[in-house]
Homo-oligomer: A and B are copies of this chain.
Amino acid sequence: MNCELQNILDKTASDCRKMTRNGKQATYIPELAKTDPGLFSLSATTVDGATFSAGDSGALFSMQSIAKIISLSFSLEMFGYDYVFARVGMEPCSEPFNSIMKLEMTSSIPLNPFINSGAIVIAGIMAERFGRGAIDHLLEFAWKMAGRKRRLCVNERVFMSENSTADRNRALAYFMHSIGTLSAVDKSLILYFKLCSIYADTNDLSVMGGTLANAGLNPITGERVLSRETACTVTGLMSVCGLYDESGEFAVKVGVPAKSGVSGGIICAVPGKMGLAVFSPLLDAGGNSVAGMETLSRLSREIKLRGM
């Protein structure tokens, strides 16, 4: 069966990497525009610890919004469900990921931790408690999720690039500060940009997905990284709002918890089965990897990821 899974990944990678010719690379963060648009990689980690890869599987890229999984998981572990969800909601958002409108209409907390406002609030919670050391705690936690020590780290060039082209995020942060939803504007933003700039490959991400899919137990190291409750909470949110404005489309076409990033990565946690990660930099209008979406659509059908 494992041999079969490798074959399916190879075949899907071979078919779908051709799709890397479609879509557009993210350019609003100048460093992202420098990635080779032809890269494609696909990895899987089953809950019993087997790992598979196809394509350019060692290719590194910045996690961008995928890192929101790390900060959400860690803050749930550190501060608990009630504390976190007093600061951020858990409902999908029909406005764009960087929208201020809903915050202004309600003067309330961000709708969920995966839109930018919500992720900045989560970064703010971390920054409040750990100050400048927050990023180290988050990296250490990410290492546990990915099962590798000192591999995942912040890419400073990407961080600088994020930090210098962040008008919308600054607008969000100042707005939230004005309504009392965010305490420290600059510290929160710096941590948020550092998180976005963590470099990983699809192997790393598939193990992280596998940890979530395995109810919090890292399938490679056997370590309990997060509680079953946190794994359920995080995957629950991934299933409703993990793919920006295409979360519904992804639920229809793929049907498993996932989170995408504008660098072209998508991570999936298929509960009780496996973690999956795909990377291909060219994006559709919704900001999701074109080849990544197609890859996961096919895999969903071929290996019945939904369970039916």
Binding site for B on A (CB under 8 A): 89-95, 99-102, 104-105, 111-112, 167-168, 170-175, 177-178, 185, 213-215, 228, 231-233, 235-237, 239-241, 245-249, 251-253, 255, 271-273, 304, 306-308
Task: List the number of copies, as a whole number.
Answer: 4
Quick check: B174 and A178 within 8 Å, CB to CB? no
Cross-chain contact of A232 among B170, B172, B235, B255 (Cβ < 8 A): B255
Bound state CA distance, A178 and B116, in angstroms? 15
Cross-chain contact of A101 among B104, B167, B251 (Cβ < 8 A): B104
Query: Separation in Å of the A258 CB from the closest CB of chain B?
Result: 12
Cross-chain contact of A167 among B174, B232, B237 (Cβ < 8 A): B174
Quick check: B273 and A252 within 8 Å, CB to CB? no
In this complex, which of A105, A178, A215 has the most chain B Cβ atoms within 10 angstroms of its Cβ? A178
Quick check: A306 and B248 within 8 Å, CB to CB? no
Quick check: B240 and A307 within 8 Å, CB to CB? no
In this complex, which of A91, A99, A239, A273 has the most chain B Cβ atoms within 10 angstroms of its Cβ? A91
Collect the chain B residues with CB atoms within 8 Å of residue A253's CB.
236
